[in-house]
Amino acid sequence: MIKININLPLKKRLHIHVANRRKDPTVKPLFPKMEEIRRVKKGSHVSRYFRHIFEHNKIKRLFGTNIAFAIIATTLLPNQSGAINVQANEIVTAESPIVLPTQSGAQYPLSNIKINQGYKFYHPAIDLDGETGDPIKPILSGVVEAVGWSKLGYGNAIYINHGSGISSLYAHLSKILVKEGQEVTQSTIIGFVGSTGRSTGDHLHLEIRRNEVPINPLIILPH
């Protein structure tokens, strides 16, 4: 606290006390503590940390929501990449029509459908709830292009090429049942749900890509 005394005419004196303003306990800091991030169960630690920054009022007021996403993600977030060095150079959110290979429509990879986390700018995939050991099937028939452990947080992952520029990636598996070069159908069990890699619990991380660019899986999957 700073005290200032000023002598005024007519034998008057002005007393000024300057003190730091108390912090509002309801205002969240721009950069959260890791303890707070760990208490949130949905998504990886990285996505949760930057989601807090994206949604902070200071960032929204300064840049606007959409610009804040673009600036922070471009400067701070690493490029999203798939298992076994499968990379995406940009994220596309436009839901333009997609021509699927000539066969029956796409299917969800799990029999029980519950989406824990949807497709977002900072999460170009959907997370499907499941338990370790739940069987996983491909969304479409195709050829397995890559399998194995990813050092990028996906854990055990499978990458399948379905033709016509469409591919899919399945991550955090507890076990992989297919190998590179293997042809699979929609009835093939390719692996089991797990929580390997950078994961906070049992679930399936599903990415769908068109010409190696992530798109919203719900464009293709049945409604």
Angular region, 136: left φ>0, alpha ψ -120 to 50, beta rest: beta
Annotated catalytic residue 162: no
Q: DSSP string spanning 152-221?
A: TTTEEEEEEEEETTEEEEEEEESEE---TT-EE-TT---EE-B--SS-SSSEEEEEEEETTEEE-GGGTS
**Residue among 55, 49, 56, 119 nearest 78 (CA):** 49
Catalytic residue among 162, 203, 205, 223: 203
How far apart are the C-alpha atoms of 34 and 30, rounded to whole Å? 13
Cα distances (Å, whole numbers) of residue 20 to 1, 2, 28: 7, 9, 18
Angle between helices 45-54 and 65-76 (to 10 degrees): 140
Q: Which residues are marked as active site?
A: 203
